[in-house]
Chain A
Amino acid sequence: MKCPPLLLRLGIGRRRFPVWLPLFLLWPVAAAVIIVLAPLVLLAALILLPLGWGKSVLLSGLMFFGVLCALRGLEVNVNLGNRLVQISFK
């Protein structure tokens, strides 16, 4: 079972040392929001079913979760000399 990234290392600008953001603290909050919004999403899916978007609405949540989990291991390091961009999902 894949799990979403737990840490995000972010360094933008002239900062020499990147910041470690604890993403794992956000996931319980996100889970609570998803549980609250789930009935609304189901309702939206039912309404949009005749238009052909119902299945897409239902699947999109799962797809986004898949993308979120797949972010683990993504690394972007750009060094422009005086500016630095460091993004890393762990």
Chain B
Amino acid sequence: MSDSQKRILDLLAEKKISVDEAQRLLSLTEPDKDTGTGGAAESAGAKGKAKYFRVQVQPEAGSGKKSVNVRIPMALIHAGMKFSALIPANASDEVNEALREKGIDFDVRNLKPEDFEELVAALTDFEVDVNGGREKVHIYVE
């Protein structure tokens, strides 16, 4: 139970608000899954597990035949991410040093598989549409 819900019940106990008002306020404090307040992982679960990351570049009608259609399985992205576990501790130091030389202050040891999972789950809602006149770029997860 959240603090706001406790506060509403306290107000009801003190008879400062009616039962109907308390009920209405409590309904407002409940997490609304439809609005995406449950986080990326919840929304990904609601939509179903993403299987593919798609990149499509389609030409506009009459502007040539050039097109790109790439379909990357999410399992491949997951498998690639697991490679970070292979980095030994001393190699991480070298990578960090190389990154620092490039002006990037980042510790690769802070990369956790859970973070990747969250990122991939968040990709479920990811969609980019670019209409550049001659081509139409569509990046999405299905």
Contact = CB atoms under 8 A, between A and B. Distances in A.
A32 B72 CA distance: 29
Secondary structure at the A interface, as helix, strand, loop or mixed, is mixed
Contact of B88 (A2, A53, A63, A70): A53
Nearest to B85: A59
A62 B91 CA distance: 20
Interface of A: 2, 51-53, 55-56, 59-60, 63, 66-67, 69-81
27 contacts: A2-B75, A52-B89, A53-B88, A55-B88, A56-B86, A56-B88, A59-B85, A59-B86, A63-B79, A63-B85, A66-B79, A66-B82, A67-B79, A70-B73, A70-B76, A72-B73, A73-B75, A74-B71, A75-B69, A77-B68, A77-B69, A77-B70, A78-B68, A78-B69, A80-B66, A81-B65, A81-B66
